[in-house]
Amino acid sequence: MGIPVHKSWEAMGRMSLVVGFLVTVLTASVSARSLSPHHGFLGGPWEVVVKMGHEGQTLRLPVTVTDENKAQDLNATIPVMGTPIKVKLERYIPDLKQETVAVDDPNGRAVAKLSFRGEGLEQDLWLSAQDVTRQSISSHIGGVAMRELPAGASSAGVLEGLAELETVGALIVTLPGAEAPMACPVRSGAVITLPGSPWKISTLRYVPHYSIDRETKEVVSASDKPVNPAVEIRIENGNQEYHQWLWSKFPSSPHKRVSLPFPVRFLDFHVEPQAGQYLLAVAQGLSPRVLRWQDGEKTIRPVEMGQRLPFKDKRYSFAVEEVRFGAAIETRWTNGSDMLLHPAVVATIAHGEATEEIVLEQNKPYHHKTGSGTLVVLYRRVP
C-alpha cells in the first residue's frame, strides 16, 4: 500500500526530476551485488533521535527489527517532553521506492506523463500545470516545460499564434459574469479588445527575468533566460485605467498590487532558441502542441501520443504518453524489495488532535514546525 509523501519529501522528489536523467543513467549500471559491500553502512543498530529546537532535550529511541531485509510494523512512541507532541514509529521499510501517479482531483488541472529514453535511460515522469515546481524538467541533454490554456476557441487562436516571434505568452482573463476564462495572446505593444466588453488590455512591456535595479528602482530584465517572466499591462474602458505587473510563476508579488476590475493571469510561453528545449501546450478539447525552435525558427506543431521527439543529444528523446485534465500528481513511498538497499522508517507526528504521517530516510533530518519551535526527527545508525 502506498504512503502519501509529505511536502518536504515531495520537494526531494521534485529535485530528482531536475537530475533524473543523470540518476537513471547511473543507477541503471548499479546492481544489487555492487551495493552489497555497503550494507554494513546501511544496517543497524539504528535509532530515531528527536529534538525540539537548539535548546531542547535530545530524545533517543532504538529501532529494533527482527530482519533488516523485511518490512515490518513498529510499535514505539516518543513523547516530546514539555509539549503535547508525540512521535510514533509505525513501520520499517528496507528498500524505499518512490511512486508518482496521477489521480482525479476536482480542483486539479492538466497533467502529462512523459517517457524519456536513451542510452542507459528509461524513465517516466509526470508534469503538472498546477504545481509550479512540476511544470518543467531540465538536464544537460534538454528540457520540457508544460503550459495549460483554458478550454475554448480563444485558446485555439492563441496556440496558432505562438509560433510568431513577438508572441511571448497569453493572458488568461475572466470577465465579470463569464462562465469560463478566455485566452489572449501577449505581444509587446499590442492592444486587445475583450469581446462583449468595453475593456481593453494593452501589453506595455515583457521581461523574461523580472528584477529591480537597486540604484534606479526601475524594473529590468536580469537576463534573457525565462527565470521570472513578467508582463506589464494596462486595462482601460475609457473612464477607468489600471496599470499592473503580472508574473507567470507567481500568483502574487511582494510589491503592492493594484485591485484589477477582473482576474487576469499571465502565462509565459518563452522557449529558448536551443535544440532540445520544448514547451508542451495543452487545452482541454484541443490537440496538444509542442513549441520549439527548429532551423532558426520558432515552430508549433501537434504532437501525437507516443511520438518520440529528440533532445539536443540525439541519443536521447522523450514522448508524451498521456495528458489528463482535472487531475493532480501524488507521490507515494513504497517498499521496493526484501533487500536492505534504502532503509526508512514511517512515523506519525501527533500534535493534539492533528496527526501527520512522515517518512524518515536514513541520515536525512525531518523538520516539523510548531508554534513553539521546530521539531527535528532523525533516523540514523547508533553512533
Q: Are residues 189 and 105 in the same domain?
A: no
CATH of the domain at 70: 2.60.200
- Whether 50 and 360 have beta carbons less than 8 Å apart is answered as no
Q: Are residues 276 and 150 in the same domain?
A: yes
* DSSP string of 252-266, one letter each residue: S-SS-----SS-EEE
How far is it, in rounded angstroms, from Cα 34 to Cα 382? 25
pLDDT value, residue 11: 41
- 264-268, strands of its sheet edge to edge: 182-187, 167-173, 264-268
**pLDDT tens-digit map of 87-101:** 999 999 999 998 889
Average pLDDT, the chain: 85
**pLDDT tens-digit map of 107-143:** 999 999 999 999 999 999 999 998 888 999 988 888 9
The last residue of a domain, from among 267, 284, 318: 267
C-alpha cell at 248: 507567470
Q: What is residue 226's DSSP assignment?
A: -
Helices (H), 19-108: 20-28, 32-35, 39-42
Is residue 315 a part of any domain in this protein? yes
Is residue 9 a part of any domain in this protein? no
Q: Is 258 exposed, middle or buried (0-12, 13-18, 19+ CB in 10 A)?
A: exposed
Backbone angles phi, psi at 133, to 5 degrees: -75, -15
Q: Are residues 275 and 261 in the same domain?
A: no
Is residue 188 a part of any domain in this protein? yes
Q: Are residues 110 and 190 in the same domain?
A: no
Q: Are residues 303 and 321 in the same domain?
A: yes
Q: Are residues 72 and 130 in the same domain?
A: no
Q: Are residues 119 and 200 in the same domain?
A: no
| pLDDT at residue 33 is higher than 60 | no
pLDDT band at 40 (very low <50, low <70, confident <90, very high): low
Q: Which residue has the cell 507567481?
A: 250
How far is it, in rounded angstroms, from Cα 303 to Cα 146? 13
How many residues can be counted in the chain? Answer: 383
Q: Are residues 263 and 167 in the same domain?
A: yes
pTM for the predicted model, two decimal places: 0.72
Q: Are residues 258 and 174 in the same domain?
A: yes
**pLDDT tens-digit map of 146-201:** 999 999 899 999 998 999 989 999 999 999 988 899 999 999 889 999 998 999 99
Q: Are residues 184 and 330 in the same domain?
A: no
Q: Are residues 316 and 357 in the same domain?
A: no
Residue 361 CA: distances (Å) to CA of 8, 33, 118, 310, 344: 12, 22, 30, 36, 5
Q: Is 45 exposed, middle or buried (0-12, 13-18, 19+ CB in 10 A)?
A: exposed
Is residue 293 a part of any domain in this protein? yes
Q: Which residues are paired to 370 by β-bridges?
A: 373
> b vs e for 27-36, b when ≥16 Cβ sit within 10 Å of the residue's Cβ?
eeeeeeeeee
**pLDDT tens-digit map of 267-276:** 999 988 876 7
Is residue 4 a part of any domain in this protein? no
| Rounded average pLDDT over 1-9 | 44
Number of separate domains in the chain: 3
Domain containing 372: what range?
31-95+344-381
The last residue of a domain, from among 238, 267, 296: 267
Is residue 77 a part of any domain in this protein? yes
pLDDT value, residue 96: 95
Is residue 20 a part of any domain in this protein? no
Is residue 3 a part of any domain in this protein? no
Q: Are residues 231 and 197 in the same domain?
A: yes
